[in-house]
Structure 1
């Protein structure tokens, strides 16, 4: 359901700030609206997904773990369906599902340990010798008759449950909500840790810049993302090198600021030279390039990359000139699946009107123009995967995926209708 006001779409920041004040379903619908219009993309998809799933856990009604898993999976499937070209959404959903299973398993193990300790204590008590009965005390009643003392009577009688002191035992109906509340709190804490990991990933990746960039290097970047920009600025604080910025738009509006002006200003202030290149001119400079640095939208199980359109040009040119390719990506972008056949062959197609105006003439109407939004880079073109955990190779992927995804989530399909 789109926002009620026609033509209005709240920004991601406004949406995240309003989550606590709006109904859960309305917040989910608002994010779906932004994803469908591609107003939220890239790393922002991971942040937005984590925030929404945190609200699902905190505000939805559920009585057991299975219901919670179903709620999260249903909401996650709707988000995945809204932006199928953003695999990071499915990654966050799977990690939250695995987190719920882990927390539920730990709580179950804690309960089993508690019950085992209780059984051992009961067994120990029952195996000890019975206490020595107290001596009989004869007392004379008003009628002069003798009666057995109350202590012996208490030993032979069965206690009434109503006579037990308050707090001696807790009914199951009261214990269950307390257990659910504890699980809810633990899962929320876990999701907040995932959110911290996402927000800190770029800074952690940038901390390895000094190792990867050497003095005097010529580094080529293609349409640098925020991750690449932080990486270059961090390297510029310790190294002096030259940056080729490729992938600039050939047509530019009058009066508009030059692309990546803020990045070039920061690098120039640090003593790093920058050179702007058009996409069709980067091959001429590749002989001087020391290494190519790009960022990935997702890293698949086979090591292949989902990248912004055009990045494959730089990667293929680097292979032709035997130049190393460094890919920057947080581990939350590692997908436990292989790429689809459609992506492997052609990438994801977008709106062609952004590249060609059909108002330019009748001849344009006879053309079929395809605008590729993303490209697929095969794993053999990548030399180093630089993550927030440090440099990785393809041989490390199995361990990384096993650490971040449970086997149930690796095989999980998040297609709408299968949740």
Structure 2
């Protein structure tokens, strides 16, 4: 259900500020409303998801780890269904689920250590320990025959129970996790630890672009001709950081949209920053790309997601630049933070690309002409892994062969298909 004031859609920053003052369900519905209207997209989805899951941990009622995992999975699945073409939402949900499992396992190990230490202290007392107090001797009462047979059955069943049961076993649930029978003090400590862990994820999201930009002087050399196809925010910071230490030429390529009606040319702010730093810029539309590719030293663009096989979800047109660079043996560098690494293979929908409105290219004022045409405007493209040379992340440059280790370090196997664990609403 959409918010009561459907005509007013708050910005993401205002929505995040309102999370602390409104109920949890209202916060989730407000974010879903913005996701469906595509008013929150791209990198903003990661930040919004982390904030809302922090509210789920803080405000929802749960008494053990299994309940907490269920609450996070439920809220995360709703967000994924609201924006199925934003894989970064599922990535953040998986990161939080893995964080909960790690914190619960750590608390369980600490509790086991304390128990083992207490047992060792008792054993070390030895003969010096004071003798136990004498227990009162019960008065013998002769039981009847039925009581004797019942007592034998109880003793036998208790013996079987103790001989089979393992006090360290977790309950047999769908998400078996340590500390499922946690005490209130442990629940309070786990809540605090998970919230601190989500804050660290938020710091990673906010600092990722600056950390990637720190590798710019290694990737860009003096005198290079760099082709930046539809530069994202990460690419812009990367180029501006490199311009502070290098002198090179940037070719800014973008799609030609004759009916966009923009007040200023695209990427005018980026060109101004680069020119101020002494870096030359060349404006280029995509249909003139092949004429400049032989002169280019490397191609750089940002990615919306990196899939398990190394394929990329990118803005429309980047695939053309990657194919042209591959034909002319030019390296392709993709800027992508680790939180955009998706532990899944791309779906058929991702491979086909997302379709947007064609009104930027075909005017609906030409009624007869529009009726006779079927125009498709692809918003996203899929780039196969063989067209990519370097994945530049906030952890440094990576190759396709190292992606599996990065995914294993950041995601739990049991959380990869979390969105399939709950049925459709």
TM-score tier after normalising by the smaller chain length: 0.7 to 0.9
Q: 1:417 aligns with which of 415, 420, 423?
A: 423
Is contact 1:76-1:414 (8 Å) kept? no
Of the three residues 362, 373, 385, the one matched with 1:379 is 385
Structure 1 residue runs without a partner (length 5+): 133-153, 159-173
2:329 matched to 1:322? yes
User: Equivalent residue of 1:275, what SS?
Assistant: strand
* 1:409 CA displacement: 1.6
Give the corresponding residue for 1:22: 22
> 1:189 is matched with which residue?
196
- The equivalent residue for 2:37 is 37
Could you say if the C-alpha distance between residues 379 and 73 of structure 1 is closer, same or farther in structure 2, counting changes exceeding 3 Å?
Answer: same
Q: CA deviation at 1:222?
A: 1.1
Q: Using the alignment, how far apart are the partners of 1:15 and 1:413 within structure 2? A: 25
Count of aligned residue pairs for this structure pair: 381
1:269 aligns to 2:276 (yes or no)? yes
CA distance change for structure 1 residues 241 and 61 in 2, over 3 Å: closer, same or farther? same
- Aligned partner of 1:204 in structure 2 is 211
- Asked if structure 2 preserves the Cα contact closer than 8 Å seen for 1:81 and 1:415, the reply is no
CA contact (8 A) 1:250 1:278 kept: no
Question: What is the TM-score when the length of structure 2 is the normalising length?
Answer: 0.86
SS at match of 2:38: coil
Query: Quick one: distance in 2 between partners of 1:86 and 1:131?
Result: 67
Looking at structure 2, the residues matched to 415 and 289 of structure 1 have their Cα atoms a distance apart, in angstroms, of 47
Change (3 A) 1:255 1:62: closer
- Deviations, residues 29-62 of structure 1 (Å, cap 9, x unaligned): 1111111111111111100000000000011000
Of 221, 240, 250, which residue of structure 2 is paired with 1:243?
Answer: 250
Residues of 2 paired with 1:210 and 1:326: CA distance? 14
- Root-mean-square deviation (CA), in Å? 2.0
* 1:334 maps to 2:341: yes
TM-superposed CA distance for 1:188, in Å, is 0.4
State the match for 2:152 in structure 1: none
Change (3 A) 1:128 1:9: same
- TM-superposed CA distance for 1:266, in Å, is 0.4
Confirm or deny: 8 A CA contact 1:218 1:241 kept in the other structure: yes
The match for 2:264 is: 257
Moved more, 43-52 or 252-261: 252-261
Aligned partners of 2:289 and 2:321 also within 8 Å: yes
Q: How does 1:16-415 map to 2 (within 5 A)?
A: 16-125=16-125, 127-129=126-128, 131=130, 155-156=133-134, 176-251=183-258, 256-344=263-351, 346-414=352-420
**Structure 1 residues 191 and 363 mapped into 2: Cα distance closer, same or farther (>3 Å)?**
same
Distance 1:364 1:111, change over 3 A: same
After superposition, give the CA deviation of every residue in 1:341-370 in whole Å (9 maximum; x if it has no partner): 2322x2122233344332322220232222
- Aligned to 1:265, the other structure's residue is in SS state helix
How far off is 1:22 after superposition? Answer: 1.1
Give the 3-state SS of the residue equivalent to 1:294 in structure 2.
strand
| Closer/same/farther in 2, CA of residues 379 and 130 from structure 1, 3 Å limit | closer
**Shift of residue 175, structure 1, vs aligned partner:** 7.9
CA distance in 2, matches of 1:404, 1:418: 27
Distance 1:323 1:18 in 2: 48
Structure 1 distance, partners of 2:63, 2:269, is 51
- Contact 1:331/1:388 (8 A) holds in 2: yes
| TM-score under structure 1 length normalisation | 0.87
Shift of 1:321: 1.5
| Structure 2: gaps spanning 5 or more residues | 137-180
- Could you say which structure has the larger radius of gyration? 1
